[in-house]
Structure formats: structure tokens, C-alpha cells
Amino acid sequence: DGGITQSPKYLFRKEGQNVTLSCEQNLNHDAMYWYRQDPGQGLRLIYYSQIVNDFQKGDIAEGYSVSREKKESFPLTVTSAQKNPTAFYLCASTEILGNTIYFGEGSWLTVV
Amino acid sequence: GENVEQHPSTLSVQEGDSAVIKCTYSDSASNYFPWYKQELGKRPQLIIDIRSNVGEKKDQRIAVTLNKTAKHFSLHITETQPEDSAVYFCAATAIQGAQKLVFGQGTRLTINP
């Protein structure tokens, strides 16, 4: 778990503003993921990527964008189109065809 | 796609008693079932997992059982301790290409001293 670094830990966004959450991993994992968690709820998949320069939408991709220019990095941009972005965001990674999915420590995003 | 249902949403047990959390899944292709423990404000931590080629797995006080025919799996915690208090999530996925874990809604477990 220590191999996945998310930043910032806390972020405040103003209405109409785009913000980017960083996720870096040094585990040499091929697949990376972004999940959203609302208070008292489970985790929902936003986007995932299996290889560099390729990514797919998850269940709640609207209002979010990602890039995968490097194997170790998978940043998430929360755009102004996401009307209710206040949540806990978790980045994760795993080896392709591996089993254990490791999570970063998470980022709290609040709209002010 | 896969859908995972988890019950109960809250569970309170006396210290030393056992706790059982149950999950059902919908996709018969799912073959990997992890359980995560999440403390308030922290990331989920894997506590145990099971693949579809076994029916039960145990690790000290924690065990997981899987019934592929009925498409359900359960987490069993014995001799519960106060530090077991947390939210527990089950998940399911098919290990092919990128694993897309689908999570249950979570169970808030409280251990009463």
C-alpha cells in the first residue's frame, strides 16, 4: 500500500473550477483505477487504465477525465461538469491478471 | 455488469462473540472475492480474499466461505475484539484483463466491550 501516493490529501474546489488529483505508484503495476466514495457508501469506479495511453470509463465517468502518459502516473481531473464532486477519492493499482488491488491513502475533495 | 449486495448494513456484537457479513453477486464469471476493512477516513485494507476454486479460506480469526452455486460469499470473524470495529466491504470481479472490482455497500461493524 505504501507504493501508491495520492496528493493532495485535502482539496477545496470553487464552483466552476477544474481540479486535478495526483496518483503515483512505484509498484510497477500495469493497471490503475480511480474510485469515488461518498459518506457511508461503497466505492464506485470512475475510470481505469490497463496500459499506458489507454483508459476506459467506469460506472460514473461523467464529469471526470484522466490521462495515462506514464506507467506510474494516473491523474484524475474533476471538471466543472461534475455537479456534486464532494467525496473521498481513492486511487488503486494492481498487476494485470494479478489479484490484490492496492489503494492509495485517498484525497478528500470539498466544493466551497 | 456485476452487482454486489451486502448485508447487514450495520452490525453490533459483544466483544468475544462472532460476526458474520454476507454478500451476493450476480455475474457467474466472477472468480475473485476480496474483503476490505476500512477505518474512518482511511483507505480500504485487504483482510482476506478467496478465489472461485476453493470453498473456504481461513486466516487466524477471519474466514471467508464461498458458495458458487448460490452466488454468495460470507465473512466470519470469531472472538471479536474492539479493534475489529470498522466498515467492511466485500467485492467481486473476474480476473481477466483489468480487474474491475465491484464493491458492496459496506457493513459498519461495532464491537461492544
Residue A108's DSSP bridge partners are A10, A88
CA dist A5 to A2, A21, A28, A53, A108, Å? 7, 11, 13, 20, 14
Q: Do A42 and B89 lie within an 8 Å CB cutoff? A: yes
Task: State how far residue B6 is from chain A, nearest Cα, in angstroms.
Answer: 10
Q: Is the pLDDT of residue A2 over 60?
A: no
Confidence of residue B98 (pLDDT cuts 50, 70, 90): low
Mean pLDDT of chain B: 93
Task: Tell me the backbone φ, ψ of residue B15, rounded to 5 degrees.
Answer: -55, 135
Residue A9 CB contacts under 8 Å (≥ 6 apart), including other chains: A105, A106, A107, A108
Which residues in chain B have their CB less than 8 angstroms from residue A40's CB? 106
Tell me what pLDDT residue B79 has: 98
Q: Residue A45: enclosing H or E segment and its boundaries?
A: strand A43-51
Q: Is the pLDDT of residue B97 over 80?
A: no
**Residues B15-32 pLDDT 10s:** 999 999 999 999 998 989
**Residues A8-28 pLDDT 10s:** 999 998 888 999 999 999 999
